[in-house]
Structure 1
Amino acid sequence: MSPRERLRGKIAALQAKTEASGCTEAEAMAAAALAARLMAEHGFDQAEIEMTEATAPDSSIRTTNRTTWRDKLSAAIAFYTNCAMLIRSNQGDILFVGREPGPDIAAYLRDVCFGAVDRALREFKTTPFYARRRKLSTRRAAAADFVDGMVLRLSVRLGELFKPVRNEAARQEAKQALAKREPGAVLVPLKDRKERYAGAGSAGWRAGADVGLHHGVGGSAAPLAIEDRS
């Protein structure tokens, strides 16, 4: 945890000291005054204090600047959960920042979606379509087209389900908070690859429909969860 993260936690703890939490009026006022002073001295604003974060492991090997399917799917999940995302290759993880409970949902969705794609890809590699590709290069292309189709289907379905809770203002706040926490981060645009085998892409699209998505507990307006039925 960085010094800024520890300070942010201290400010949040001070703000939590209220009469309702068991503090006396004097204690609560003193805590509020100290929190306000720390925020002013160190350039925090309330939106940043209210932001939470979560991480998901990322073991992707990046030998080129080409965007991977994992990057695309992670970016889609961050977008629909009103989060900002940062790939931290030096730490082997992806950081999600946003208003609670967005980051925790994003990290959970990412783990489950990745598992679903990995399992579906293994199954695709046992199909006659894949076996008919004799060269390593053509098999890799077919596998990539399959995964791209599945990631696209998952992204579309997540967009449909998260539409009631999407908030662009909250996402912009998350991006600003991430920029403050990681000032040296570099924006890398996502790049699409050209499809080679439409049949593989269609198979991936169908596989994306087999991952069960459902609303979380608490009604249709609540944060959403994902369930893998495979």
Structure 2
Amino acid sequence: MTPRERLRAKIAALQAKTAAAGCTEAEAMAAAAVAARLMAEHAFDQADIEMTEATAPDSSTRTTNRTTWRDKVSGAIALVTNCAWLIRTNDGDVLFVGREPGPDIAAYLRDVCFRAVERALREFKETPFYQRRRKLSTRRQAAADFVEGMVLRLTVRLLELFRSVRDDDARAAAKQALAKRAGTTVSITMKERKERYSAAGGAGWRAGADVGLHHGVAGTAAPKQIGSGS
């Protein structure tokens, strides 16, 4: 944790000291005064304090700016959890920023989806359809079409699952917070692929329907508003 992150956590802890949390009125007022002073001295605003973050490991080898299926999944998850996200190649991870509990849910869902795609792809490579492809290039194309179909189905399911908690204002605030924390970043464009093997894509679509997706880390019901601050 960086010094600025520690300071942000300290301010958040001070703001949590309220009479409702068991503090006396004097203690709550004193904590609020210290929090306000620290925010003024270190150029924090309330939106910055409210933002949380979570990371997920990313060991992808990146030699070009082309997007991968992992990027598409991460982008879809960030969208539905009202988060902004960033690939940090130097740190070997992906950072999700947003209001609680969005980032933790995003990191959890990313892990679930990645493991599901990788497992399903291994199973697809054992099928007669894949085995009949004799060239390495055609096998790679079939595998890519399978994954594309599965990622598309997962994206559709995520959009439906989180439809009631999507909040454009919360996501805009998350993007602003990420910009403050990360500075200059390079945007990536999610490019569509041209499918060659529709049968492989269809198999991936069907595989995407079998993945167990839930709103939260423990599979609990969806919060009324992820990232709304309420």
Query: Given the two structures, how large is their TM-score scaled by the length of structure 1?
Result: 0.91
2: CA distance, partners of 1:137 / 1:184: 37
What is the aligned partner in structure 1 of residue 176 from structure 2? Answer: 176
What is the aligned partner in structure 1 of residue 7 from structure 2? Answer: 7
Structure 1 position 139, deviation (Å): 0.7
Residue 38 in 1 paired to residue 70 in 2? no
Letter in 1 for 2:174: A
Structure 1 position 193, deviation (Å): 2.2
For residues 59-98 of structure 1, the aligned pairs below 5 Å read: 59-98=59-98
Residue 117 in 1 paired to residue 120 in 2? no
Structure 1 position 222, deviation (Å): 7.4
1: CA distance, partners of 2:3 / 2:187: 24
Cα separation, partners in 2 of 1:140 and 1:100, compared to 1, 3 Å = same
For residues 15-54 of structure 1, the aligned pairs below 5 Å read: 15-54=15-54
Letter in 2 for 1:54: A
1: CA distance, partners of 2:22 / 2:128: 67
- Greater relative contact order structure (CA < 8 Å, 6+ sep): 2
Cα separation, partners in 2 of 1:44 and 1:125, compared to 1, 3 Å = same
The question of whether the paired residues in 1 share the 8 Å contact of 2:214 and 2:220 is answered with no
What do the CA deviations read for 1:46-87 (whole angstroms, capped 9, x no partner)? Answer: 111111111111111112211010010010001001111111
Structure 1 position 21, deviation (Å): 3.2
What percentage of residue pairs aligned between the two structures are identical?
Answer: 78
Q: Secondary structure at the match of 1:213?
A: coil
Moved more, 206-215 or 42-51: 206-215
Structure 1: segments with no counterpart, 5+ residues: 224-230
Letter in 1 for 2:109: L
Q: Secondary structure at the match of 1:194?
A: coil
What do the CA deviations read for 1:12-58 (whole angstroms, capped 9, x no partner)? Answer: 11112223334333332222112112212222111111111111111
1: CA distance, partners of 2:3 / 2:191: 35
The question of whether the paired residues in 1 share the 8 Å contact of 2:109 and 2:213 is answered with no
Q: Secondary structure at the match of 2:55?
A: strand
Structure 1 position 218, deviation (Å): 4.3
For residues 121-136 of structure 1, the aligned pairs below 5 Å read: 121-136=121-136
Residue in structure 2 matching 1:217, options 198, 215, 220: 220
* Equivalenced residues, count: 223
Letter in 2 for 1:90: N
Structure 1 position 220, deviation (Å): 8.2
2: CA distance, partners of 1:95 / 1:152: 22
The question of whether the paired residues in 1 share the 8 Å contact of 2:52 and 2:100 is answered with yes
Q: Secondary structure at the match of 2:90?
A: coil
Give the superposed CA RMSD: 1.7
Letter in 1 for 2:125: K
The question of whether the paired residues in 1 share the 8 Å contact of 2:165 and 2:223 is answered with no
2: CA distance, partners of 1:34 / 1:187: 38
1: CA distance, partners of 2:60 / 2:214: 28
Letter in 1 for 2:119: R
The question of whether the paired residues in 2 share the 8 Å contact of 1:54 and 1:107 is answered with yes
What do the CA deviations read for 1:189-230 (whole angstroms, capped 9, x no partner)? Answer: 22222222111111111111111334543478477xxxxxxx
The question of whether the paired residues in 2 share the 8 Å contact of 1:67 and 1:192 is answered with no
Letter in 2 for 1:56: A
Cα separation, partners in 2 of 1:33 and 1:2, compared to 1, 3 Å = same
